Structure 1
Amino acid sequence: MAVTAFHWTNFLIRLVVAFVLVFATYNPSGHSWVHWFIESTNKLDPMIILSAVILIIGWAIYLRATARSLGFFGSLLVVALFGSLIWAMIFYGWLSLDNPSILGHVALALLSLLLAVGISWSHIRRRITGQIDVDDVETDI
């Protein structure tokens, strides 16, 4: 029987994995797969290719789950919410445009949060509303 309980720890695990995925792919600090690839003299290094495949698998899982659970409109709403949040942080002086690295980190953190919410949304929605999402239906023919 499948485990149906969903707790904050489940969300936090998904959030941490999303952070690792996003920040391992690219981050403003210069320590990411993108920087590694750009600075590499051998673009066909097996470790670069292997890590790229692993990252692509992670992105595919998170993006597919987010697209299926939130949909285009839901994802657009979350992006609008986060964009408004960044705008408010800049407007009220909590975030400065003078340091693009900090702005980049905030944007990547919010992208990680979007992916974590997206991959967890069916569980969150069930906890909030009591409704179950059913995307795939098995039929016996």
Structure 2
Amino acid sequence: MGFIIRWIFAFGLLALTYNPTEWNFVRWGMTHYDTQLPLTVLAGLILLVGYIIYLRATLRSIGVFGMVLITAVVGTTIWVLFDQGLISLSDPTVNTWLAILTLSLVLAIGLSWSIVRRKLSGQADVDDVDEP
């Protein structure tokens, strides 16, 4: 259940930032930055904090190679679904949602990997600790 919650928050973070509908930060910010500049900056900073949390945890747990590998696995899965005729990639809206899905899975797996690794191997990840 924990992974699903992490994935939902990652998906929400990415979809709030940009999606093919008119309900996203990028479009809202571009429309209202001249009249709502403080609110636009605040919303952007809140999104940035979310990205920093997810990206830092992801980079620390699986690294760049892990992120590329997960992206490749999800991308290949989409390729197989396309090749089997189960999805169509001709609609840019669907492609954008697939990209958001892919990136959110990468972030959710990165945030959850330390927990999965600990359960599978019994080994805990230890961050750098400053010793006096």
TM-score (norm 2): 0.91
Unaligned runs of 5+ in 2: none
Identity of aligned residues (%): 42
Counterpart check, 1:47 vs 2:39: yes
* Residues 1:21 and 1:41: Cα distance change in structure 2 (over 3 Å): closer
**Paired residue for 1:73, among 65, 68, 74?**
65
Give a deviation string over 1:38-87, Cα, whole Å, max 9, x none. 22361762111110000000001101110110011111111111111121
Q: Which whole-Å CA distance do the structure 2 matches of 1:89 and 1:70 have between them? A: 26
**Paired residue for 1:18, among 3, 10, 13?**
10
Indicate the residue corresponding to 2:49 in structure 1. 57
TM-score (norm 1): 0.86
Q: CA RMSD in A?
A: 1.5
Unaligned runs of 5+ in 1: 1-8
Amino acid at match of 1:76: V
Q: Which whole-Å CA distance do the structure 2 matches of 1:117 and 1:83 have between them? A: 15
Q: State the 1:138 CA deviation.
A: 4.3
Q: State the 1:13 CA deviation.
A: 1.8
Contact 1:21–1:58, Cα closer than 8 Å, also in 2: yes
Q: After the TM superposition, which parts of structure 1 deviate over 3 Å for at least 4 consecutive aligned residues?
A: none
Q: After superposing the two structures, state which structure 1 stretch, 65-74 or 41-50, moved more.
A: 41-50
Q: Which whole-Å CA distance do the structure 2 matches of 1:43 and 1:99 have between them? A: 34
Counterpart check, 1:132 vs 2:92: no
Higher helix share: 2
User: How many residues are paired up?
Assistant: 132
1:86 alignment partner, SS class: helix
